[in-house]
Structure 1
Amino acid sequence: MTPTLLGRWQSRLFVLATAGLLWTLLLTPLLPVGFATTRETYAGTFAAIGVTAAVGLVLWEPLYQFLQQFRWEKDWPAMFTLLEGIPEGVVVFFLLRDVLGFDVRATPFLIHFGTTWLVVFLCLHGPLRVVSVRWRFRAGRLL
């Protein structure tokens, strides 16, 4: 069974709240942010995680679920999942910078968002399927 919209929401929130936040905690002090304080840097990276989760719930996951219905097997190839990060990253970057007013620089954002997206992708396609063997059979729902 392929993930339902509820399953996609749960998976996104769970993996961002666990692997995404843990990775952000470890990576943030290492980002090339110039003279920004650690507090400002953590505020920006945690905001990026939050905006990624929020925009994903409202915009991306419903859109991906809709697009999957046109595919014969109603599934999303792993490469598509990995490439989803490109448009999501662009939207999150501009929301953080232009709407929310964060002083976001392109290089630290690309490093943080790109590596976090890769960590989340690898967790979805590795440990999550090992720890929760029936995840796929429950349409991606964790609860």
Structure 2
Amino acid sequence: MDRNRVIVIAVVLVVGLFAIWAITTGAIRFFGSDDENPTTTPSRGSAQPTVGSTAPAVDGDLQFRLVGVRSAGPRELTVTVAVTNRTSAFVSFYGESQQVVSTESRTAHGAVSLTSLEPKESTNVTLRFALPEKFTAAELDLHAAPASAGTRIRLG
């Protein structure tokens, strides 16, 4: 058998096995969330819910609860959030999709980070924000996915 043919067959088998694994474990979902209690998510144009700092907030597959906020310097903010995967599928939480919102409605994006959550897993995630000059942080704008509507939690 020709060497190139063996390589092609091996690659096809590896890709096929990966696809079967991804579909059966829920790593890839074709039909949206498998959330047990589906809720409607507000569109970005509608008013976003704002919750107290100790109450959980939900966006898509994830639930968030503020754990702590601290200044890491004159223009750096560190926020710790408990993130819970509400589904029976693997979910990723992207730090760069999160924002801190100022009292003047200006925003600062979180640093690049990735946290993978197993089904029903909860973990604390530390988000780091580099703040512009004269920025007073008021709310945290959290997103389960980069394009999700998001939910807000007051910082004070």
TM-score range, shorter chain: under 0.3
TM-score by length of structure 2 reads 0.24
Q: Which has the higher contact order (CA 8 A, sep 6+)?
A: 1
TM-score by length of structure 1 reads 0.26
